[in-house]
């Protein structure tokens, strides 16, 4: 029997892309393409700043090709839930610095997600008990989680046109604080029914000024925020997250196949680190959109998210449907997800009862391979 032919560099390059193929993102080379998705965990109650438990949670997951932090509000007004971390004051910068130092000591990479919830807040979480702000005074359906338990959403106050530069300024400050805190980059949360998404989709944006109406106008605030954040970081270290059809938080758009390829096309002009797309509607799997059209609209690094596993992620990468795949629940339950994927090992099952709030249980106590 002939000796097996040694694998050459050329053969490796011919092999289909998979999660273990390194990739350049902005100035960085990520060791793998399995990204830890941004996930709200409501475990930073003290000063809305990360504490020891949060440092440990991220440390455990440093083998992700890239960690994207949970959404971190850019201002007190941007806060929508109890115990979410912020990135608007010195105490938070110092606290996040412990997280970034820890990830870098483990050779990981970490972006902070910049977040403003807009109407998905409640007066009890707002400065001076004010109503939350939004593009239009349209109340989301249902109720929300406050410090005093579940309460109905309130009708938000529509932002005046001359207040929008102040919103952009909140993102600029958050971006600048994230730079000071030692992150590798930032992701702008433009998805899942929060403020920037509320402007993008016409179900929540009925404005008649330059920020409502056409897709061009509805994208204006997101693009102004992107300009401001890229001004701080350089576009190559800025990602943007979108969710064309997610109805979470009472969201809808009359024509997502028009709106979102348009937005992706405008973002394509920036040379961003990546575009991150939440593909599903968590409430309705049949609610979908033209994924190929969306993919074609953006020529840069494209990250997908929505229930991927090892096989479907590798298939998406091999087909060129994505360059990166982010994993949410699998990273909650498997701190060593990348190693488990590499070994084809079984995965721990996540416990939904410990997703939001609480202590180490369901947060930092999921077992690693080998116990
Ligand atoms: C679930 C609960 C609270 C927040 C998102 C930031 O969907 C969230 C979120 C999800 O982007």
Tens-place pLDDT, residues 259-304 = 999 999 999 999 999 999 999 999 999 999 999 999 999 999 999 9
Looking at ligand 1, which residue's alpha carbon is closest to its atom 10? 40
Q: What is the Cα–Cα distance from 74 to 31, expressed in whole angstroms? A: 29
Minimum-distance ligand 1 atom for the alpha carbon of 356: 2
Looking at ligand 1, which residue's alpha carbon is closest to its atom 1? 40
Q: What is the Cα–Cα distance from 93 to 116, expressed in whole angstroms? A: 17
Say whether 194 is catalytic. Answer: yes
Looking at ligand 1, which residue's alpha carbon is closest to its atom 11? 192
Considering the chain, what percentage of its residues have pLDDT values greater than 70?
96
Grouping H, G, I as helix, E, B as strand and the rest as coil, residue 79 is coil
Site to substitute for ligand 1 among 119, 248, 358, most atoms within 8 A of C-beta: 248
Site to substitute for ligand 1 among 37, 38, 40, most atoms within 8 A of C-beta: 40
Residue with tokens 């009359």: 254
Average pLDDT of span 111-135: 98
**The predicted structure's pLDDT at residue 13:** 59
Whats the size of the chain, residue-wise?
Answer: 371
Contact at 8 Å (CB) between 193 and 136?
no
Q: What is the Cα–Cα distance from 132 to 77, expressed in whole angstroms? A: 7
Q: Record the pTM.
A: 0.96
Q: What is the Cα–Cα distance from 145 to 133, expressed in whole angstroms? A: 17
Domains of the chain are 17-354 (3.20.20.70)
Residue 283 CA to ligand 1 center (angstroms) comes to: 13
Average pLDDT of span 348-365: 98
Minimum-distance ligand 1 atom for the alpha carbon of 115: 6
Residue 298 CA to ligand 1 center (angstroms) comes to: 25
Give the chain's count of helices (H) and strands (E). Answer: 12, 14
Residue 38 CA to ligand 1 center (angstroms) comes to: 9
Name the E strands within 14-137.
23-25, 28-30, 34-36, 66-73, 110-115, 133-134
**pLDDT for 69 beyond 50:** yes
**The predicted structure's pLDDT at residue 370:** 86
**What residue ranges line ligand 1, CB within 6 angstroms?**
40, 71, 81, 191-192
Average pLDDT of span 302-322: 98
Looking at ligand 1, which residue's alpha carbon is closest to its atom 8? 40
User: Which residue of the set 81, 194, 308, 366 is catalytic?
Assistant: 194
């Amino acid at each position: 029997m002939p000796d097996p032919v040694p694998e050459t560099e050329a053969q490796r390059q011919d092999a289909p892309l998979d999660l273990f193929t390194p990739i350049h993102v902005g100035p960085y080379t990520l060791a793998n393409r399995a990204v830890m998705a941004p996930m709200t965990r409501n475990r930073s109650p003290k000063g809305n700043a990360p504490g020891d438990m949060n440092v440990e949670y991220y440390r455990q997951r440093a083998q992700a090709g890239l960690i994207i932090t949970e959404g971190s509000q850019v201002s007190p007004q941007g806060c929508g839930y109890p115990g979410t971390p912020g990135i608007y004051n010195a105490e938070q910068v110092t606290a996040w610095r412990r997280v970034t130092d820890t990830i870098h000591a483990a050779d990981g990479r970490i972006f902070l997600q910049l977040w403003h919830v807009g109407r998905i807040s409640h007066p009890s979480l707002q400065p001076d008990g004010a109503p939350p702000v939004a593009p239009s005074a349209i109340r989301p359906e249902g109720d929300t989680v406050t410090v005093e338990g579940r309460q109905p959403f309130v009708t938000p106050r529509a932002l005046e046109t001359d207040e929008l530069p102040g919103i952009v300024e909140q993102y600029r400050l958050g971006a600048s604080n994230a730079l000071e805190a030692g992150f590798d980059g930032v992701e702008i949360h433009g998805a899942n029914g929060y403020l920037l998404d509320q402007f993008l989709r016409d179900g929540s944006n009925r404005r008649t000024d330059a920020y409502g109406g056409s897709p061009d106008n509805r994208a204006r605030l997101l693009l102004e925020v992107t300009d401001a954040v890229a001004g701080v970081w350089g576009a190559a270290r800025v990602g943007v997250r979108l969710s064309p059809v997610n109805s979470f938080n009472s969201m809808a758009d009359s024509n997502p196949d028009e709106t979102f390829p348009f937005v992706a096309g405008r973002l394509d002009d920036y040379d961003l680190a990546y575009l991150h797309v939440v593909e599903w509607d968590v409430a309705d799997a049949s609610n979908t959109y033209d994924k190929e059209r969306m993919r074609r609209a953006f020529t840069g690094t494209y990250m997908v998210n929505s229930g991927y596993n090892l096989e479907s992620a590798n298939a998406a990468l091999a087909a060129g449907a994505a360059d990166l795949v982010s994993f949410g629940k699998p990273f909650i339950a498997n701190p060593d997800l990348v190693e488990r994927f590499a070994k084809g090992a079984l995965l721990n099952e996540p416990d939904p009862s410990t997703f939001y709030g609480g202590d180490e249980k369901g947060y930092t106590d999921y077992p690693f391979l080998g116990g």
